[in-house]
Chains A and B, each alone.
Chain A
Amino acid sequence: MSKGLTIIVLVLLSLIDAITLAISQIEGPFPSIVPLGNPTAYRSLYIHVPISITTYLLFTLGFLFAIVYLLKRESRFEIAAHSFILAGILMGFSTLVTGIIWASESWGSSWNWDPRETGVLFMFLAFLVYLAIRSSIKDPNVRPRVSMAFAVAAYATIPLSFLAPYLMPSLHPTASETEMFMGGGILELFITRVFIVAIESIFLSYFTISRRDKRIISAIIPTLLVAMILVAVQLPPNLASDHPNGTFKVQVLRGSIENDFLKLNVRTTYKQDYILLYHGKPPINPLFVTMNGKENGKRRFTLEKHWLLVEGTTQDRVIKARSIKLISYWGNSVNALIYSLTLLSLAYFLGRERA
């Protein structure tokens, strides 16, 4: 494939990535009822999980090329293995950071020594040791053999971290535990995200090592641009507090529909409780759900735990709202930015390695 075509393919992949990233973070479905935190934090599902699956894929490619190198002893396989492992390390770091940001909201603590968390950290450290080994051996004949042997060995951490939630109790769900939710119409968007993140990262890694070209970095611009717009739009409402000119940031405690009015018990950022009345289109769909699973048949109000940006007037602890808008969890846009910066650093570092 020519350099020009490579750039075009990468720009196209980045455009699809940017569009699906924007859709997932603006319109992406999330669980209607969550145990803890802002339910929109679960939109990190479309960033964190594809990154982590891609990390496994990149390490798998590195592992396969390392085996081929050990069999054939041709330096091109060693270069390919090293590049995919380097890309895996960058994506692995991104997996850890995006997971930490999501966990701080949805699990109640940033780092929990959860078996999968520990497994991914162990995997990341094992491949950092690979880097240390590779850079510490100066002999060009010994270096590839030892480092590739270690790369093959370090791959043992992949099944360990992947299987951790299946082997012992974990805060991470297993695939079967998410089946019911995935069946609710989100599978297409989720699969598309996984597919595009994986293809883009692998393609980027492969062509950065095979054709060093500064324009490869510029191909990531669409994804970076969307991530920056998401940060600019979604971060400020998270930082806002109540404003005297009639803008309120409130968290929904309970709610109901009374005489066509949405009646919410809300709490402001200053911990003051209000009744919020709103006549208009609810900011969430559906407004009530019947729980699946263990709580079969129980009807729940889906605005609970959400943060809202409200415009309206107050009187006697009642807010009469003119407009209400869901506040998306700040970590989602930051995670999108981390992801796009990871792609950038992947192109940059792999280009430098080859140089």
Chain B
Amino acid sequence: MRGFILASSLALVILVAGYMTITSSSYESISQLSRYRKPTMVTLRASIESTRIIPEKNLILFVLQGKKGNRVYAFYELSRFISQYGAPPSHSIVDQEVVIRGTFYPAKVGNVMGKLEIEEILQGCHKAYEAPPATGG
């Protein structure tokens, strides 16, 4: 019986610690960025409202929009994007919803929350499973 009491107590501790670990690794939304007052590393999940290529600065500007209409201007290196995806951004290359990791610089003006320097564009695989299967080799 003592073994089960020890196991149950430990299980509770592990459960709480595990839940806190997992929730802390979840992605932030644009509205959650308002809590930052200084540049912070974030992993953000947002919808791409529009995309602009700035060739003279070798940059891509993604205008990200949150559910409440807040926006973030996110920048990514154009040449790096092309080397990863084979072409500049288009609807077929980048999902409408993305997960982005980078440094957020808060500068709230109107509904614009600030600027984000993207380090990684992460893509979930959910959309892949909406496509029919293919075979080949």
Query: If the complex has contacts A36-B123, A157-B18, A164-B22, are A292 and B130 also in contact, measured as CB distance less than 8 A?
Result: yes
Query: If the complex has contacts A108-B122, A109-B101, A157-B18, are A292 and B132 also in contact, measured as CB distance less than 8 A?
Result: yes
A215 to B136, CA, bound (A): 37
Do residues B11 and A33 form an inter-chain contact, with CB atoms below 8 A? no
The reply on B85 being an interface residue by CB < 8 A is: yes
Residues of B with C-beta under 8 A to A167: 22-23
Do residues A181 and B22 form an inter-chain contact, with CB atoms below 8 A? no
Binary interface profile of B, 72-109, with partner A (CB < 8 Å = 1, else 0)? Answer: 00000000001111110000101100010100000000
The reply on A5 being an interface residue by CB < 8 A is: no
Residues of B with C-beta under 8 A to A170: 26, 124
The secondary structure that dominates the A interface is: mixed
Determine the residue in chain B with the shortest Cβ distance to A282.
B136
Do residues A34 and B134 form an inter-chain contact, with CB atoms below 8 A? no
B-side interface residues, number (CB < 8 Å): 52
Do residues B125 and A185 form an inter-chain contact, with CB atoms below 8 A? no
Query: If the complex has contacts A70-B3, A114-B25, A146-B6, are A29 and B134 also in contact, measured as CB distance less than 8 A?
Result: yes
A334 to B92, CA, bound (A): 29
Within 8 Å by CB of A156, from B18, B86, B136, lies: B18
Within 8 Å by CB of B137, from A26, A146, A178, A186, lies: A26
Which one of A294-302, A311-319, A344-352 contacts B? A294-302
Which one of A8-16, A115-123, A203-211 contacts B? A115-123
Do residues B26 and A115 form an inter-chain contact, with CB atoms below 8 A? yes
Residues of B with C-beta under 8 A to A168: 22-23, 26
Could you say which of B9, B14, B19, B128 has the most chain A C-beta atoms within 10 Å of its C-beta?
B128
Within 8 Å by CB of B134, from A157, A169, A286, A291, lies: A286
Binary interface profile of B, 9-43, with partner A (CB < 8 Å = 1, else 0)? Answer: 11111110111011101110000000000000001
Residues of B with C-beta under 8 A to A40: 136
The reply on B71 being an interface residue by CB < 8 A is: no
> In angstroms, how far is the closest chain A Cβ from the Cβ of B60?
15
Do residues B133 and A160 form an inter-chain contact, with CB atoms below 8 A? no
Determine the residue in chain A with the shortest Cβ distance to B23.
A168
How many A-B contacts are there with CB distance less than 8 Å? 204
Do residues B10 and A302 form an inter-chain contact, with CB atoms below 8 A? no
Binary interface profile of A, 12-55, with partner B (CB < 8 Å = 1, else 0)? Answer: 00000000000000111111111110011010000000000000
Query: If the complex has contacts A153-B14, A251-B86, are A181 and B121 also in contact, measured as CB distance less than 8 A?
Result: no
A169 to B26, CA, bound (A): 7
Do residues A171 and B124 form an inter-chain contact, with CB atoms below 8 A? yes
Residues of A with C-beta under 8 A to B22: 115, 118-119, 122, 160-161, 164, 167-168
The reply on A149 being an interface residue by CB < 8 A is: yes
> In angstroms, how far is the closest chain B Cβ from the Cβ of A274?
12
Do residues A109 and B7 form an inter-chain contact, with CB atoms below 8 A? no
> In angstroms, how far is the closest chain A Cβ from the Cβ of B128?
4
The reply on B126 being an interface residue by CB < 8 A is: yes
Question: Which 8 pairs between the two chains have the least Cβ-Cβ distance?
Answer: A153-B10, A293-B130, A29-B133, A284-B136, A32-B134, A152-B7, A31-B128, A181-B129
Contacts A154-B10, A171-B125 supplied; 15 other A-B pairs, CB < 8 Å: A31-B129, A34-B131, A108-B84, A112-B120, A115-B22, A149-B6, A152-B11, A153-B14, A156-B15, A180-B130, A181-B130, A181-B131, A182-B129, A282-B136, A286-B132
Residues of chain B at the chain A interface (Cβ within 8 Å): 3-4, 6-15, 17-19, 21-23, 25-27, 43, 45, 82-87, 92, 94-95, 99, 101, 120-137
25 residue pairs bridging A and B, Cβ less than 8 Å apart: A30-B133, A36-B85, A70-B7, A106-B123, A106-B128, A107-B123, A108-B123, A112-B43, A113-B43, A148-B3, A149-B6, A153-B6, A153-B8, A153-B14, A154-B11, A155-B11, A156-B11, A168-B23, A173-B126, A177-B129, A286-B132, A295-B130, A300-B92, A300-B131, A305-B86
